[in-house]
Structure 1
Amino acid sequence: MKIALHKIGNKVSNEGCGFSDTELNISDDKKDLLQNYFLGSFKSEETFHFYSDTYLTNNLIFGCVSEIFEDHRNFINSSKNIGNILYNAAENPRVQGGELFVVYFQAENENEVDKIGIFKTEKREPFLKISPNEIDPIEVDKGVSLVRIDKAALIFNQDKETGYVLQVVDNNKNGDLYYWFEDFLKVKQRQDEYYHTQETLSVYKQFITKQLPQEFEITKADQAEFLNKSIEFFKEKEKFDYDEFTNEVLQDETVIESFSNFKSDYEQEMQVSVSEAFDINPSAVKKQSRGFKSIIKLDKNFSIYVHGDRKLIDQGTDEIGKYYKLYFEDEK
């Protein structure tokens, strides 16, 4: 593992940069600690690729990592160039300066590929240094927390022609949503199984919660059923097929036609293509399902969580007002 460490300030505040001319020389145990710290940042299977508004070769970070992959002797100079690009990308005074680590991870076996990591630390967390035998045994200091890194990008040496494969994390946006992803790296999400699963569930949820109530007389309980059935479909199936999904989940031809129109309008407005056949990614389903909570909120008094059979919920009105009637077998 090769490591270059540079200090990058905020350009707007004229903080400047400090570049190292040599690789970081540390003990093996510290290398192991840093490797776990760096690679532990990536929890999601969501992936990205470099892009450019003109030619891919005009993406500056793409050019730097390509130089390193092609010849390891470019490592230090290219890492400095990455630092300069990062410094020039800071057009917001709220972007915090910090340490920039550029790391080269060599593949350990034939099933892996070489990787380049770009990591930035920004926040300083207070910690205690305890020396029981001293007169003043407790000292307060500030440093970088090993719990999670502020900003990270991991570039895999594969699919170069389409902008490589990246994992990207920004845990400290600090008032600037675009600095790391757009201004510095210039990346877009790759249209793989994770993307298609995520996008389809997102479009469907918008249809059920926003469009469907405008076109049809539908209760909150009916919406909850549609949401539950869709998540169950994605959890049970390995592959997504549009016709199979709409026939099993939406069922009604008029509703299916409405969803088809909504999807077409969404694709045109967002300039994307929502695939109608793909392998379902379980990680994307798990993440999206957190937003598919089927909750019926009744004034400020009650909330009904709907997990299953719509037929066990009855809705009506009597002399007192509106009501929901729930049928069940066991009370726990």
Structure 2
Amino acid sequence: MISYFQANLETVSIHKVGNKLADEYYSLSDAPYTIEDQELNKILLTYFLSPFEKVNEIYRLFHPNQDLKLNEVYHFVTQIFEQPSSFHEQTEQLAKHLYNQCNHAKIKSGEVYIAKFTDLQIEGELLEAVGIFKSENKETYIKVAPEEGNFSISYEQEAINLHKLDKGCLIFKTEKEAGYKVAVVDQTSRSGEAVYWKDDFLMLKARNDNYSHTSQILGVYKNFVTQKLDEDYDITKAEKIDLLNKSLNYFKEKEQFDLEEFGQEVIGSVAGFESFKSYKQNFEEEFEVEIAEKFDISAPAVKKQSRNYKSVLKLDRNFHIYIHGNKDLIEKGYDDDKHMNYYKVYFKEEE
């Protein structure tokens, strides 16, 4: 949980970073921006920090060679924390590092704001933090103002929407040896080119906590049901949806996850459970993570992951069947006369 009601924006430096692949360049400012208008200070606090109020997942900075000092963001941010007088110099280095990662054809140029905050709250603790933000998408705004008994209309192009921060991260001055606590916002994370922000620029790994365990096991199980089961079993889509519904109910009803219990209550068959454990182990080895076999379930992680669980059975373009409960009340068959598949659904009352 991140809160900024007590936060103070100490200083901010603004640079511009282009797309290296498109032969665009970066432009560095000479000094930090001086904020003299208190209203502008409040606006910037809202623009930078409000997107993080709903962020629950916390990351760590890391490096594949296990040497944190090789992570450029870690190095430059540590310098800011330990030598505040070098703030602007370090922001220039951060902007250059970001520019070197902007080598995908679809990455947009934009302004980069690097800010220093005090009294920013995370998980109940007031801390200093460095924020790195990038604005890529601009909009046009209309201005209406009274003028001599009438109204005038003007517009401003290439303006920034205060409610749409494209990319941002907050690095908190705590747990330095583990890679700090890092919160991330990325509005374009669904597109392939956007991985440069988290993976190439920041180099992040999920923190090993209940939120990440819950999120990861739900994601692994979903992929297991939707992708792996077809290879080993003859299973219908309705049966897949039933398995996904059972897993969600398990996580919503239980306070603690237990892998053995989950296998018995949700998966059911011994062979299916062994297959899932093998799938989980392969995931852990591939992505170099470890998902505990017992942990306290994180409700925010369940809520977020449940959006990716589909309970809709789509039949051609004619019907959608929402399956929420007992799979035994739906039967699949084949009509020889019509040469078509069918589902038979049993119910007591029509609402």
Q: TM-score, normalised by structure 1?
A: 0.90
Indicate yes or no: 2:152 matched with 1:137: yes
- Compared with structure 1, are the counterparts of its residues 129 and 170 closer, same or farther at alpha carbon in structure 2 (3 Å cutoff)? same
- Compared with structure 1, are the counterparts of its residues 293 and 29 closer, same or farther at alpha carbon in structure 2 (3 Å cutoff)? same
Instruction: Report the counterpart of residue 217 of structure 2 in structure 1.
Output: 200
Instruction: Report the counterpart of residue 230 of structure 1 in structure 2.
Output: 247
- Give the partner amino acid of 2:42: D
- Mapped partners of 1:32, 1:21: distance in 2: 21
Instruction: Report the counterpart of residue 158 of structure 1 in structure 2.
Output: 174
- Give the partner amino acid of 2:116: Y
| Secondary structure, counterpart of 1:40 in structure 2 | helix
- The CA deviation at 1:258 is 2.4
- Mapped partners of 1:89, 1:254: distance in 2: 45
Q: Note if contact 2:14-2:32 (Cα within 8 Å) is conserved in structure 1.
A: no
Q: Note if contact 1:297-1:304 (Cα within 8 Å) is conserved in structure 2.
A: yes
Indicate yes or no: 2:15 matched with 1:7: yes
Indicate yes or no: 2:291 matched with 1:274: yes
- Mapped partners of 1:318, 1:93: distance in 2: 51
Q: Note if contact 2:19-2:108 (Cα within 8 Å) is conserved in structure 1.
A: no
| Secondary structure, counterpart of 1:114 in structure 2 | strand
Instruction: Report the counterpart of residue 96 of structure 1 in structure 2.
Output: 108
Instruction: Report the counterpart of residue 184 of structure 1 in structure 2.
Output: 201
- Compared with structure 1, are the counterparts of its residues 122 and 299 closer, same or farther at alpha carbon in structure 2 (3 Å cutoff)? closer
- The CA deviation at 1:103 is 1.5
| Secondary structure, counterpart of 1:178 in structure 2 | helix
- Mapped partners of 2:211, 2:347: distance in 1: 37
Instruction: Report the counterpart of residue 6 of structure 2 in structure 1.
Output: none
Instruction: Report the counterpart of residue 68 of structure 2 in structure 1.
Output: 56
> What are the superposed Cα offsets for residues 295-319 of structure 1, whole Å, 9 maximum, x if unpaired?
2222332221101122322333455
- Mapped partners of 2:168, 2:112: distance in 1: 10
Instruction: Report the counterpart of residue 263 of structure 1 in structure 2.
Output: 280
- Mapped partners of 1:88, 1:221: distance in 2: 47
| Secondary structure, counterpart of 1:213 in structure 2 | helix
Instruction: Report the counterpart of residue 3 of structure 2 in structure 1.
Output: none
- Give the partner amino acid of 2:349: D
- The CA deviation at 1:281 is 1.5
- The CA deviation at 1:148 is 1.3
- Mapped partners of 1:219, 1:184: distance in 2: 42
- The CA deviation at 1:119 is 1.0
- Mapped partners of 1:141, 1:201: distance in 2: 45
- Compared with structure 1, are the counterparts of its residues 215 and 176 closer, same or farther at alpha carbon in structure 2 (3 Å cutoff)? closer
Q: CA RMSD in A?
A: 2.5
- Give the partner amino acid of 1:10: G
- The CA deviation at 1:200 is 0.9
- The CA deviation at 1:150 is 1.4
- Mapped partners of 2:261, 2:302: distance in 1: 18
- Mapped partners of 2:185, 2:217: distance in 1: 23
- Mapped partners of 2:103, 2:238: distance in 1: 48
1:305 pairs, out of 304, 309, 322, with 322
- Give the partner amino acid of 1:209: T
- The CA deviation at 1:144 is 0.8
Q: Note if contact 2:118-2:128 (Cα within 8 Å) is conserved in structure 1.
A: yes
- The CA deviation at 1:114 is 1.4
- Give the partner amino acid of 1:290: R
Where structure 2 has 5 or more consecutive residues not aligned to the other structure, the ranges are: 1-8
Instruction: Report the counterpart of residue 46 of structure 1 in structure 2.
Output: 57
Number of residue pairs aligned between Structure 1 and Structure 2? 332
- The CA deviation at 1:172 is 4.3
- Compared with structure 1, are the counterparts of its residues 100 and 329 closer, same or farther at alpha carbon in structure 2 (3 Å cutoff)? same
| Secondary structure, counterpart of 1:65 in structure 2 | helix
- Mapped partners of 1:235, 1:119: distance in 2: 35
Q: Note if contact 2:18-2:108 (Cα within 8 Å) is conserved in structure 1.
A: yes
- Mapped partners of 1:241, 1:67: distance in 2: 42
Q: Note if contact 1:240-1:276 (Cα within 8 Å) is conserved in structure 2.
A: yes
- Mapped partners of 1:171, 1:259: distance in 2: 32
Q: Note if contact 1:8-1:18 (Cα within 8 Å) is conserved in structure 2.
A: yes
Q: Which segment drifts farther, 121-130 or 85-94? A: 85-94
Q: Note if contact 1:8-1:87 (Cα within 8 Å) is conserved in structure 2.
A: no
| Secondary structure, counterpart of 2:235 in structure 1 | coil
- Give the partner amino acid of 2:345: L
The sequence identity of aligned pairs, in percent, is 36
Instruction: Report the counterpart of residue 126 of structure 2 in structure 1.
Output: 112
Q: TM-score, normalised by structure 2?
A: 0.85
- Mapped partners of 2:133, 2:51: distance in 1: 10
- Mapped partners of 1:229, 1:185: distance in 2: 37
Instruction: Report the counterpart of residue 5 of structure 2 in structure 1.
Output: none
Q: Note if contact 1:23-1:76 (Cα within 8 Å) is conserved in structure 2.
A: no
Q: Which runs of 4+ in 1 moved over 4 A?
A: 172-175, 317-321
Indicate yes or no: 2:93 matched with 1:81: yes
Q: Which segment drifts farther, 278-287 or 69-78? A: 69-78
| Secondary structure, counterpart of 1:41 in structure 2 | helix
- Give the partner amino acid of 1:16: Y
> What are the superposed Cα offsets for residues 55-91 of structure 1, whole Å, 9 maximum, x if unpaired?
2112221112112222432323322322232233333
Where structure 1 has 5 or more consecutive residues not aligned to the other structure, the ranges are: none
Indicate yes or no: 2:137 matched with 1:127: no
- Compared with structure 1, are the counterparts of its residues 137 and 330 closer, same or farther at alpha carbon in structure 2 (3 Å cutoff)? same
